[in-house]
Structure 1
Amino acid sequence: MSGIVFVVDDKGAKKAVIIDLKKFGGVWEDFYDTLSAQSRAKERRESLASVKRRLQRKGEYND
């Protein structure tokens, strides 16, 4: 496939990939965004109201 090169070890196993970002930058960005979202999926969530209260206590937010 033009614009994608696989880096292989001496046994032919794929170890890395080189992507032409001019050609596939949008696809890479979508892929990376999906990975980032999945890595944060189990993080504790905090409501906007609690963030505002915490910042107000620290003097870093005025409503």
Structure 2
Amino acid sequence: MRGVQFVVDEKGRKTGVVIDLQKNPELWEDVFDRALARRRKSEPRETFDAVKRRLIKAGKLRPRASA
């Protein structure tokens, strides 16, 4: 992969990586997204139905017609 260099120890084992983020910006996006997801893992959650009700009440979503 272009723009990626591995750091190796004296025995030739990979111990780190240097990534050129200008050549691989999508890698930074992936790292950032994962870090953000981990940080938000313990945040309170809201059910899908609760979100729908809130959006309907705010006028941002139309209620579904009854079948």
1:6-51 Cα distance to aligned partner (Å, 9 max, x none) = xxxxxxxxxxxxx632323222121111111011101111111111
Aligned residues: 47
* Bigger Rg over Cα: 2
Alpha-carbon distance in 2 for matches of 1:20, 1:37: 23
Q: Percent identity?
A: 43
Gaps of 5+ in 1: 5-18
RMSD of the alignment, in Å?
Answer: 2.1
Query: 1:54: Cα distance to partner?
Result: 1.3
Query: Who is 1:55 aligned against?
Result: 55
Report the TM-score, using the length of structure 2 for normalisation: 0.54
TM-score norm. by structure 1 comes to 0.56
